């Protein structure tokens, strides 16, 4: 599990591309959980808001060639969670 991927530099995020590739990943029998913390109030299980958020964070450095390929691998199964009422975080 990698927590707070929003704190990674865009170049470090790009390293996940190879590990998330369906055909050429070095560890095909492994699961990788990436946790993105946001202040978004909307819930979006399609992944669209996640892709937009990461594009704002990393898109300026990675550009139009790398960003869509990375997002197709790391933002393809999104689960949106929110804290419980009264929960201490």
What pLDDT does residue 6 have? Answer: 93
Place of tokens 């190879």: 18
Q: How confident is the model at residue 3 (pLDDT cuts 50, 70, 90)?
A: very high
What pLDDT does residue 87 have? Answer: 65
Q: At residue 89, does pLDDT exceed 70?
A: no
Q: How far apart are CA 70 and CA 34, in angstroms?
A: 13
What pLDDT does residue 5 have? Answer: 92
Per the CB < 8 A criterion, the answer to whether 32 and 20 are in contact is yes
Condensed to tens digits (0 to 9), the pLDDT of residues 8-57 reads 998 888 888 888 877 777 887 888 888 998 887 777 767 788 889 999 99
């Amino acid at each position: 599990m990698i927590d707070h991927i929003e704190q990674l530099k865009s170049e470090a995020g790009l390293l996940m591309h190879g590990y998330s590739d369906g055909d050429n990943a070095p560890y095909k029998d492994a699961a990788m959980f990436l946790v993105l913390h946001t202040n978004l109030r909307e819930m979006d299980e399609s992944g669209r808001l996640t892709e937009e958020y990461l594009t704002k964070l990393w898109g300026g450095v990675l550009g139009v060639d790398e960003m869509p390929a990375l997002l197709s691998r790391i933002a393809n199964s999104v689960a949106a969670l929110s804290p419980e009422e009264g929960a201490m975080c």
